[in-house]
A and B are shown apart, each in its own frame.
Chain A
Amino acid sequence: MDNESKGAVAAVKGFFKAVGGFFSSFGTAFAKGDIFVKLSLIWLGAGYVRRKQYAKAIIMTVFEVAVILFSVFFAADYVPKFGTLGTVKAERVFNMATMKSEFNDYDHSFMILLFSLFSFVVWFVAIIVWIKNTINVYNLQVMEENGKHINTFKEDLRSYLEEKFHITLLTLPVLGIVIFTVIPILLLIFVAFTNYDQQHTPPTELFTWVGFTNFITLFGGGGLTATFGYSFIRVLGWTLVWAFFSTLTTYIGGILLSLLLNNKKTRMPKIWRLMFVMTIAVPQFVSLLLVRNFFADSGIVNTICANIGLTGFLRNIGMISTNYIPFLSAPGWAHVMIIIINIWVGVPYQMLIATGVLMNIPEDQLESAKMDGAKPFQIFVKITMPYMLFITGPALVTDFVKNINNFNVIYLLTQDVYTTTNQALANSQAKEVDLLVTWLFRLTQDYYNYKMASVIGIVVFVICSVFTLVAFNFMIGGDKEGTYQ
C-alpha cells in the first residue's frame, strides 16, 4: 500500500506532463479541425451532428445550456460579490405593503464564499469538458477521413461497461470526494484569509478578506493582547512530543508483546492474544471515558493510592500539593498519563500488525543466525528489527501523522477534566494538553473562531505533508527492496 505514497513527488511531474499533453492535443484539434470542429467551440454538439451522433449532440447541448443557465441565474448572484464577500448588512426594515417588519435583501458572506467557490469548480469542470469535447470531435473527424467505423450511441454506452468501465466505477466516488473533501478543504483555505469569527458570523454580520493577518497572529504578531503566538508554540511543541513518544512507545511495545506472545514458551498463545485484542475491540469512547473516570481526581485509583499511602508519600516529597494525585488535571502529570494510557490503547494494535509481519520473517535467516551462535538480543537487533523496519517503515510514518491528528485520545481523556491555569493559554482557548487538532476543534465548536481554526488546519497539513515527503524521500534513498526477497 505504501509504494503508492512514495511516488508522490514523481506524480506531480507526471501530472504536469499529462496536462501538457492535454493542451497540445487541444491545439492540434483547433488548428487542424474542420469547420464543424471550430463550430463546436461555440456549440458543443456541432461536431457530433456532422458525424450523425445525434444522442451525443443532444447531451452536450443540454450540458451547455445547463452551464449557461447556472451561470446566469445562480453564479451571477454570488460571484460578483466574491471580492468583498458582501456589503449589505442584515437589518430589519418595516415593510409598508405588508405592515410587517422584514429582513432587507442582505448579503450572506458565507453563502457568497461557498457558492462562488462552487461556481468556480463548475466552471473549471465545464472548461475541461469543453476542451475534451473539441479533442473528441476532432478525433471523430480524423476517424471519418480515414474511413474508420464511428460508434453508434448504443456502442458508446456499451463501452462504459467495457474499456471505459473505470469511468463508470469512479464517477460517483470521485464526485463524493470532490464535494465532501476537496471543496471543503478549499473553502477552509479561503476562510483562513478572512475575519470569520464570533463577531463576524453570518447572517447577522458580514465577514471580509483580511489577507495574511490571521497567519501573522498565529506566528506571534498581533499586538500586546494577542496570545495566539505563545499558545501556538506551546501546543505545537506538545503535539510533536506526543506524536513522537506515542508512535515510538506503541511501536516498540507492540513488537515486544508480539515477540513475547509468539515465543515457543508461551502456552495457549491464542487465548492470551484474544485478551489483549479485547481491549481494543471496545470502542474508544467507552474505554477512554472509563479510564478518565478511573484516574479522576476523586476516582478509584486515587482512593487506592490514598489508602496505601502513596498520596501522602508524594505530598511529603513535594511532588503534589493537593490531597489527591492530579493524574489528568495538572500539567506534567497529565502529559505523562496520556502517553501511558495511549500505550494501553495502542500496543495491542501494533501487536496485531507486528505478529503478521514477524510470522513472515525468513526462517532460514533466524536459523543460520542461531547456528552461528547469535544471542536472542543480537538476533532482535540485527535481524528482527531491520526486517520490521523495512516492512513497517512506511506505516510508521503514517502512524506518526495519524498521531499528530489523534483527536480521540486527547479529547476524550482531557475534555471537561483538564482546566488550564495558564492565563496566556486560556486567552486563546488552548490548554497545555491540547494537540493542534483538539485546539482547532474547540475553537470552532465552542468559540466559533473559524479564521484561526482554518489557519491551524493549514499549518497541520503543511507539517504532515512536509514530514511525509521528507520521510519517504529518505526511505527511497535507502531503498533495499531486494534484501529480503
Chain B
Amino acid sequence: MKTKKMKDSRTSTIIMHNVLIGVLAVIWLIPIVWLLCTSFSAYTGINTSTFFPEKWGITNYINLFHPDSVAQFPQWFLNTFIVACINCVISTMFVLMVAYATSIMRFPMRKPLMNMAVILNLFPGMLSMIAVYFVLKTFNLTNSYAGLILVYSASSGLGYLIAKGFFDTVPVALCEAARIDGCSEARIFFQMVIPMSRPIVVYVIINSFLAPWMDFVYAKMILNAGVSSKYTVAIGLYKMLDKSLINQYFTQFCAGGVLVSIPISILFMIMQKFYVEGITGGAVKG
C-alpha cells in the first residue's frame, strides 16, 4: 500500500517534470515555428493578425530564386560562400599555427605574446574595425570580397585559445620522443599533432567557415554603401526589412532565413560538442 503510493507520486513528478521542460521548449521554439510558418505564407507582408498564415504556398521560396533588384538571394549566398571558404582556409591555418606554437613549443617570447593577445582581446573588436574600414576605404577595398576576407581572417590568430587548450592535452612525452628520434618540429606538427587532434581541427574549420555566415556587424561596416549584388546573406536579409520594403519582402525574408539556417544549423550541431569541450577544457581534466 505504502510503496504503491510512493510510486504514484514519483510517476506524477516525472510527468510534471517533463511537462515543465515541454512548456519551456515550446516557449523557446515559438519564434522558430513562426519563422517556418511565415515562410510558407502565400502573402508577402508581415502577418500581424494570426499566428499561422491564412493561405499557404511556396511562392516565397520560388521568388527567392528569381532575383529582382532588391532581393538577390542566390548572389548573396554565393558571395557569402566564397568569402566563407577562403576565410576558412586562412583562419584555420592561422589558428592552428598559433595554437601549436604557443602550446607545444617553448621559446622566450611565448608568454609576452600570449599576454599581448589577452590585452588585445579586451579592445572592442568593432573599434579596430572602424579604423580598418578607413584603411580599406583608402585602398578602395570596401564593398569587395578582399575587404571582407581580410577583416574576417587577418586577425583570426587571436582566437587560438580553444585550440591551444586542446593541444595542451597532447602528452609532452610523445613530442619529446619524436624529437629524440630526430623528427623535425614541422613533421611533429603536420604528421603527429594535427592528425591526433582531428576533433579540434574540425571545430576550427567549421567555426571559421561559419563566421561570415553568422556575422552581421563587420559585413554591415564593410558593405556600407554597396549595391545589392555585393551583399552577404546577413546584410541582404537585413535590407529586406527596411521600412519601405518590409511589407513586400517580409515573408521572403523568412524563407531566406530558413534556407540559410538549414546548413548553418547542421554545421553548428556538429560543432557544439567541441565548443563545450573547448570552453571547459583544461579546467575539467583533473
CA distance A266 to B106 in the complex (A): 47
Q: Which of B56-64, B81-89, B195-203, B265-273 forms contacts with chain A?
A: B265-273
CA distance A166 to B5 in the complex (A): 68
Question: How far, in angstroms, from A158 to B31 measured CA to CA in the complex?
Answer: 58
Interface: A172 (CB within 8 A) = yes
Decide yes or no whether B155 CB sits under 8 A from chain A. Answer: yes
CB of B78 within 8 A of chain A?
Answer: no
Tell which of B21, B241, B257, B286 touches A261, judged by Cβ atoms closer than 8 Å: B21
Residues from chain A with Cβ under 8 Å of B18 in the complex: 265-267
Q: In the assembly, what is the distance between CA of A2 and CA of B162, in Å?
A: 10
* Interface SS of B by simple majority: helix
A286 touches B120 (CB 8 A): no
> Are A484 and B48 interface neighbours, CB within 8 A?
no
B269 and A277 contacting across the interface, CB-CB below 8 Å: yes
| Chain A residue nearest to B250 in the complex (CB) | A293
Q: Are B20 and A260 in contact (CB under 8 A)?
A: yes
**Residue A208 interfacial (CB < 8 Å):** no
Binds B, one of A56-64, A181-189, A309-317: A181-189
Is there contact, CB below 8 Å, between A278 and B257? Answer: no
Interface centre among A170, A267, A287, by most chain B C-beta atoms within 10 angstroms, is A170
Surface stretch bound by B, among A38-46, A68-76, A80-88, A457-465:
A457-465
B65 at interface (Cβ–Cβ under 8 A)?
no
Hey, which chain B residues are within 8 Å of A405, CB to CB?
124-126
The answer to whether A444 touches B130, judged by C-beta atoms less than 8 angstroms apart, is: yes
The 8 A CB mask of A109-122 against B (1 = contact, 0 = none) is 01100100000000
Interface string of A252-287 (1 = CB under 8 A from B): 000001001101011100001011111111111111
B280–A173 contact, CB under 8 A? no
- Give Cα distance in the complex from A69 to B164, angstroms: 40
| Interface pair A445/B221, CB less than 8 Å apart | yes
Q: Given A14-B112, A180-B150, A283-B260, are A114 and B24 also a contact pair (CB < 8 Å)?
A: no
Docked CA distance A97–B99 (Å) = 61
How far is A181 from B51 in the complex, measured between Cα atoms in Å?
46
Q: Does residue B170 face the partner (Cβ distance < 8 Å to A)?
A: no
CA distance A82 to B101 in the complex (A): 38
Contact of B217 among A14, A158, A185, A411 (CB under 8 A): A411
Q: Which residue of B lies closest to A300 (CB)?
A: B48
The interface size of chain A toward B, counting residues with CB under 8 Å, comes to 107
Question: Is B192's CB within 8 Å of the partner chain A?
Answer: no
User: Which of B115, B269, B286 neighbours the largest number of chain A CB atoms within 10 Å of its CB?
Assistant: B115
Give Cα A263–Cα B279 distance, bound, in whole angstroms: 22
Q: B6 at interface (Cβ–Cβ under 8 A)?
A: no
Name B95's closest neighbour in chain A (CB-CB): A173
Query: In the complex, what residues of B have CB within 8 A of residue A445's CB?
Result: 220-221, 224
- Distance, CA A457 to CA B126, complexed state (A): 9
Interchain Cβ contacts under 8 Å between A and B, 26 examples: A1-B281, A11-B111, A110-B138, A170-B113, A176-B154, A176-B156, A177-B154, A180-B132, A181-B120, A184-B128, A188-B128, A260-B21, A275-B29, A283-B214, A286-B35, A300-B49, A302-B48, A405-B125, A411-B216, A411-B217, A440-B126, A441-B217, A457-B124, A461-B123, A464-B124, A484-B286
Q: Which residues of A contact B (CB under 8 A)?
A: 1-5, 7-8, 11-12, 14-15, 18, 110-111, 114, 158, 161-163, 165-166, 168-170, 172-174, 176-177, 179-185, 187-188, 191, 257, 260-261, 263, 265-267, 272, 274-287, 289-291, 293-294, 296, 298-300, 302-304, 344, 348, 352-353, 355-357, 360, 391-392, 395, 401, 405, 407-408, 411-412, 416, 437, 440-441, 444-445, 450, 453-454, 457, 460-461, 464-465, 468, 484-485
Closest 4 CB pairs of A and B: A173-B157, A184-B131, A11-B115, A165-B185
